[in-house]
Amino acid sequence: MDGRLYECADVFCTKMNEFLEYGPQGFGCRGSECHAQAYGFKDCYYKIIFTFADKKLESNVFTLKQSNLDITVKNDGLVVKGNTSINKPTDNNFWISFLITIVIEMVISLIFLLLSKKTLSILKWVFLSNLISLPIVWYLFPSINVPYKWQLGLSEIFAVLFESSFIYYFGKKYISYKRTLVLSLLNNVASVVGGLIILFWLSK
């Protein structure tokens, strides 16, 4: 079965364009679940088309005002409805995300500290700050019922401010707050981009 997401110009979907896949952005189905990820979803209408070996099924036209959608497969088409339930992250996904984040941010921090000729002892504060911030980002922010891009933005602002303050508080003898802020910003940009690419690839 091949599943594809389309963007529609109007409520009747007289003209539609396939949802583009590049970097971490894309749409895919695995088992009984489909997953869409984007840098930012357009404020438009959408349609899903499933292609099987013997037939093609189209969904009703819908919007992405809700982050969770239920897809019902019928003999003559697909029915897509909004679901107000909140996705709860699994522990397995958390540990995968944690490992990816730690590896990426420790590598970026090591390079940053070497280039700026700062003591590598700061790495332990980078690790500990992530140990505290990542569970908050992973379990608390998804419970906020706002679109995914807002969840992502708020969680990353929190992560940058918390981690930079934490690192500076314990390592101010060795590094300025301006540098910890730059370090935290670099770390989080790298971990978000790298993490989304890896997780989307794994979901395929």
Tell whether 103 and 188 lie within a shared domain: yes
The CB-side HSE value for 104 (13 A sphere, CA atoms) comes to 22
For the chain, state the CA radius of gyration. 20
Spatial contact of 59 and 49, defined as CB atoms under 8 Å apart: yes
Tell whether 140 and 178 lie within a shared domain: yes
Tell whether 74 and 102 lie within a shared domain: no
Please provide residue 71's backbone torsions phi and psi, each rounded to the nearest 5 degrees: -115, 120
pLDDT in tens, 63-76: 876 557 788 899 88
Task: Give the CA-trace dihedral at 78, 80, 86, 91, to 10 degrees.
Answer: 20
Each residue's pLDDT tens digit in the chain (204 positions)?
A: 788 999 998 888 989 999 887 656 778 887 778 888 776 677 789 999 999 888 999 999 988 765 577 888 998 899 988 764 544 555 556 777 788 889 999 999 999 999 999 999 999 999 999 999 988 887 887 677 666 667 778 888 999 999 999 999 999 999 999 999 999 999 999 988 876 676 666 555
Spatial contact of 193 and 20, defined as CB atoms under 8 Å apart: no
Domain that holds residue 12: 2-83
User: Pick from 61, 83, 105: which residue ends a domain?
Assistant: 83
Tell whether 101 and 175 lie within a shared domain: yes
Tell whether 137 and 73 lie within a shared domain: no
Tell whether 16 and 51 lie within a shared domain: yes
User: Pick from 25, 54, 83: which residue ends a domain?
Assistant: 83
* Number of domains the chain is built from: 2
User: Pick from 23, 53, 83: which residue ends a domain?
Assistant: 83
